[in-house]
Amino acid sequence: MTTPRFNYQEILSTVINADIREYDRGPLICLDESLNNQTVQATIETLLTRGLAADSCYLWSQPRIRTEGSLVSVMGGLRRHVSIPGLDLGRPAKYLSWDDRLVVYRLLAHFTTYTTLVLLTENTKTAQFGLRRLLRIYVKPYLSTNHLDRFSLTALFKKWRTNYPDYCRRVAEVFEEGAFTCGYSEVEL
């Protein structure tokens, strides 16, 4: 699968300068596919219910294969055996995943309606086209030099040895503190 090359600075410039933003809505929780589990979902629901976040969104689509063999993408993925009567959503496609470059693209698009984004992910590797590296190389410098005083992107990385309940407790603590600094910042929990 070939992924188009993205000019992240151009994307940031376009969405940050868009005139359709609603300010002071609170942080948007952006969920990477690596943290798609019930404990994280329950934590997100609690943060939303308590008013500590404005909304949440998925940053990926799950490739699935239908019964007749065609491919379909489902935003945010589905549990393995979910069925909707009359709709063939297929089963998860093996060895296919959503490219991190597309995850960053979807993440940045949310700056059109939010000034504070909080990314939840356990994708801590710094591979060439990995999420963390793309954020560090392309997003951090742009936010730091052009919009340090207005826009915030905080990435809350789950360390590989941290269990999900501990990670979620720490995520909740970060939201309770509410100290999201402008620009790009990373926190390993």
| Domains of the chain, start order | 8-60+97-188 (3.40.50), 61-96 (no CATH)
Per mean pLDDT, which range of 49-58, 89-98, 137-146, 175-184 is the poorest?
89-98
pLDDT at site 86: 80
Least confident segment among 32-36, 62-66, 102-106: 32-36
153 is written with which tokens? Answer: 């992107």
Quote the pLDDT of residue 18.
Answer: 64
116-121/55-58 β-pairing: unpaired
Give whole-number Cα distances, 26 to 53, 55, 81, in Å. Answer: 5, 8, 34
Give the pLDDT of residue 76.
76
pTM: 0.84
For residues 22 and 115, what is the distance between their CA atoms, to the nearest angstrom? 8
Q: Which of 1-15, 102-116, 158-172 has the highest mean pLDDT?
A: 158-172
pLDDT in tens, 117-176: 999 998 777 777 789 999 999 899 988 887 667 889 999 999 989 999 999 999 999 999
Q: Which helix (H) or strand (E) holds 65?
A: strand 61-65
Q: Give yes or no for residue 77 having a pLDDT over 80.
A: no
Q: How far is CA 173 from CA 16, 68, 113, 133, 167, in A?
A: 28, 47, 25, 26, 10
Which pLDDT belongs to residue 22?
Answer: 59
Average pLDDT, the chain: 85
Q: Looking at 12-26, 38-52, 167-181, which range is the least confident one? A: 12-26
